[in-house]
Amino acid sequence: MSILGGYKELRERLKSVRLWSVMAVTLGILVIVALWGVNQYKGKANYHNYLTNMWHRAFFDMVGYVQNIQALLSKAEVSGDDRQRAVLYTEVWRNAFAAQENLSQLPIENNVALERTAKYLTQVGDLSFSLSKQLMSGKKETLLQQKQLKKLRAYADKLSNNLNELAIEISQGRLRWGEVRVVGTSRFRRIAQNVTSSRMLAVEAGFKDYPTLIYDGPFSDHISRQTPKGLPEKLISKEQAKKIALNFLNFKRADIVNYLGLSGDRIKVYTFEIIPDRRIRDRTITIAISKKGGKVIWMIDNRASSSPKIGVAKAKENAKKFLIEKGFANMIDTFYLKQDNTALINYIYQQNGVKIYPDMVKVRVALDTGQIVGFDATAYYMSHTSRKIPKPAISERQARNFISKNFDVQSVSLAIIPLDSGKEVFTYEFLGKYDGKYFADYINAITGKEENILEIIKDPNGILSM
C-alpha cells in the first residue's frame, strides 16, 4: 500500500504515528540545533582565543617597552658621554612610542580613560627625542632638564612595577581581559569592568600628581598654553561678537542666530550658527569670534557649490580682495587645493620681501559664484606680531654650501618658518627639484643649520606641501 493512498487511510496512519512522529521531529530539531550551537560556540571560542592572544601580545610588549624606558633612562643618568646619551635618548623615544601604541590597544572598557598614562609615555618619548637633538647640536642637558628626567625615571620605575604585578597575575591566569563590549547587559558590563579594567585604572591613578612638562617638543605642555600674539587686548561681550559676525558676513540681519558656546584653550571664541534665510534651512554659516580683540577666527559656510564656472586665478583674485577688505594687508598666496567645487587657498604674510609662514590665513572660494565660503585665521592670530627681522648673518652663497649638491635650486628667498616646538626660525628658502620631485629646503640664515625640508606636490588639483 502506498502512503499516497486515500485521505482516510492517511488519517488513520497519522493517528498511529502521531505521537512518534512529533517526538521524532522534536528530537531531530533538537539534535540539529545542538550541532549548530556547538559549532557556533567553537567559532566564538576561536575568536575569543585569537583576541586574547592579541591583547596579551600588546600587553606584554608594553610591559617590556616600559621596562626598557626605565633601564635606558637610568643608563643615561650614569653615562658621561654625550654621544652615548644621544643614542640612549633616541632609544627611549622609540620604546615610549611603541609602549603608547600598545597601551591604546588594550581592551579596557574605556581605553580613553588611560589618558594620563598615555600622556606620560608620549612626553617621556618626546622629551628624550628633543634632548637627543639638543645633544647632537652640541648642547649639554641643563640642570632643569636633568631634574625633569630624574622625575620621569621615577614614574617609569613605578609604572614598571605596577605593570609587572599585573603581568604576573595575567600569565598565571588569575586575571583575564574583560570583554570589550559596549553593548550587553549591565551586569555583564559590571563584571568586565571589575577585573582588568579597574586594575589598569588603578595604574592610571599613579599619575594623578604628574607635573607639567615644558620642553622643546610638539607634545610639551606649553603648546596648548600658547597665547595669541596677534589679537588686540580688549575683551568683548557675546552681544558685540554677534554684531561683529553679522558685519563680517555683510548681513544687515539674519533670520536665525544660534549661540553655540564659548570655547577654546589658546583662543577663546564665541561660536554662532547663522541661518540667513528661514526658508533655506540647510544653509548655515558657522562663525567664531575671539573674546579677546573681537576678531573673526574662522568661518564655515556649508552652501554646496555646483559645477565650477571660474578658474583658480579668478578665485585668487576674489580671495585677495576679500582679505584686503577684512584688513589683511601684505598677504601672498602659496599653496592651493581644488576640492568639492571650491578652491582652498593658503595666504601668508610678507614683510619686506620675507615670507612669514606662521602668519597663515586660509580662504575657501566657491568656484560657481566666486563667493567666499570658508575662512580660517587661527594660525595668523596665534603668531602675527610686528617682528624685527634681523639681517642674515650668512650670505645666500654661504647658505647654498649647506644644501645637497644633488638639489637643483630654482629660486631662493628669505622666510620665517614655524618649528614643531612652536618656535620660529629665520631661514633661506631654497625651492628646487630633485629626481623629478619638488622640494623646499630651509637653511637657518643665522647659523647655517638645515631646519626643515618639505616636499611640494603639484598636480591638477593644486600645489601642496608635506
Partner 1 sequence: MGKILKRYSLFILLLLISFILSIYSAKLIYDIKRASYENIEKKLEKALESTDKEVLNEFIETQGSTSYQNKDLYLLARVINGEARGEPYVGQVAIGAVIINRTKHPGFPKTISGVIYQPGAFTCVSDGQINAKLEPTALKAARDALNGWDPTNGCIYYYNPAKTTNKWIWSRKVMLVIGKHRFAK
Please, which residue, 358 or 392, has the CB nearer to partner 1?
358
Nearest-approach distance from CB 113 to partner 1, in angstroms: 6
Which parts of 422-461 interact with partner 1 (CB under 8 A)? 457, 459-461
Q: Please report how many Cα atoms fall inside a 13 Å half-sphere around the Cα of residue 7, on the Cβ side.
A: 0
Specify whether the CB–CB gap between 463 and 457 falls below 8 A. yes
- Interface with partner 1 in residues 280-309 (CB under 8 A): 284, 286, 288, 298, 300, 302
Q: Nearest to residue 341, comparing CAs of 314, 368, 369?
A: 368
Smallest separation, CB 350 to partner 1 (Å): 15
Cβ(149)–Cβ(72) under 8 Å?
Answer: no
Using rule CB under 8 A, residue 317 touches partner 1: no
Interface region with partner 1, contact rule CB under 8 A, candidates 269-277, 313-321, 406-414, 426-434:
269-277
Q: Which stretch binds partner 1 (CB under 8 A): 87-95, 231-239, 267-275, 390-398?
A: 267-275
Q: Which stretch binds partner 1 (CB under 8 A): 237-245, 265-273, 384-392, 400-408?
A: 265-273
User: CB of 380 within 8 A of CB of 400?
Assistant: no
Q: Among 56, 222, 251, 264, which residue interacts with partner 1 (rule: CB under 8 A)?
A: 264
Binding mask 119-158 for partner 1 (x = CB under 8 A): x--xx--x--------------------------------
Q: Specify whether the CB–CB gap between 121 and 213 falls below 8 A.
A: no
Q: What are the C-alpha distances in Å from 74 to residues 68, 136, 212?
A: 10, 20, 21
Cβ–Cβ under 8 Å, residues 159 and 203:
yes
Indicate which single residue of 72, 86, 95, 109 sits in contact with partner 1 (rule: CB under 8 A): 109
Which is nearer to partner 1, 392 or 418 (by Cβ)? 418
CA distance 127 to 85: 13
Range 14-33, binding partner 1 (CB under 8 A): 14, 17, 20-21, 24-25, 28-29, 32-33
Q: Which of 61, 82, 101, 141 binds partner 1 (CB under 8 A)?
A: 101
- Give the dihedral sign, CA 409/465/454/346: positive
Position 41 contacts partner 1 (CB under 8 A): no
Long-range pairs of 409-415 with CB within 8 A, sequence gap ≥ 24: 413/353, 413/354, 413/355, 414/353, 414/354, 414/355, 414/389, 414/445, 415/354, 415/355, 415/356, 415/357, 415/442
Nearest to 445 by CA among 370, 374, 377, 389: 389
Least gap, CB of 26 to partner 1 (angstroms):
9
| Separation between Cα atoms, residue 82 and residue 89, nearest integer Å | 10
At closest approach, how far in Å is the CB of 398 from partner 1? 26
Q: Assess contact for 347 and 334: CB atoms under 8 A.
A: yes
For residues 57 and 139, which CB has a smaller minimum distance to partner 1 in the complex?
57
Stretch binding partner 1 (CB under 8 A), from 105-113, 228-236, 388-396, 430-438: 105-113
Interacting residue with partner 1 among 183, 209, 307, 327 (CB under 8 A): 183
180 binding partner 1? (CB under 8 A):
yes
Among 70, 160, 162, 271, binds partner 1 (CB under 8 A): 271
Q: Are 298 and 378 in contact (CB under 8 A)?
A: yes
Report residue 262 as a C-alpha cell: 564659548
Q: What is the footprint of partner 1 within residues 202-261 (CB under 8 A)?
A: 218-219, 224, 260-261
**In contact, 192 and 177? CB cutoff 8 Å:** no
The span from the CA of 404 to the CA of 441, in Å, is 10
Residue number with CB closer to partner 1 (91 or 109) = 109
The reply to whether 66 sits near partner 1 by the rule CB under 8 A is no
**Measured from the CB atom, is 293 or 462 closer to partner 1?**
462
Taking each helix axis as running N to C, give the angle between helix 7-78 and helix 82-103, from 0 to 180 degrees, rounded to the nearest 10: 160
Q: Does 6 bind partner 1 (CB under 8 A)?
A: no
Regarding 181 and contact with partner 1 (CB under 8 A), the answer is yes
For the CB of residue 290, give the shortest distance to partner 1 in the complex, in Å.
10
- 78 vs 112, beta carbon nearer partner 1: 112
**For residues 148, 152, 154 and 159, what is the CA-based torsion angle, rounded to 10 degrees?**
170
Cβ nearer to partner 1, comparing 75 with 94: 94
Of the pair 73, 96, the CB lying nearest partner 1 is at: 96
**DSSP assignment string, 352-389:** TTEEEEEEEEEEEEETTT--EEEEE-HHHHHH-----P
Q: Retrieve residue 287's grid coordinates.
A: 562663525
Write the binding mask 336 to 375 for partner 1: x where contact by CB under 8 A, - elsewhere.
Answer: -x-xx---x-x----------xx-x-x-----------x-
329 binds partner 1 (CB under 8 A): no
Q: For partner 1, which is the closer residue by CB, 89 or 298? A: 298
As measured in angstroms, the least distance from the Cβ of 376 to partner 1 is 6
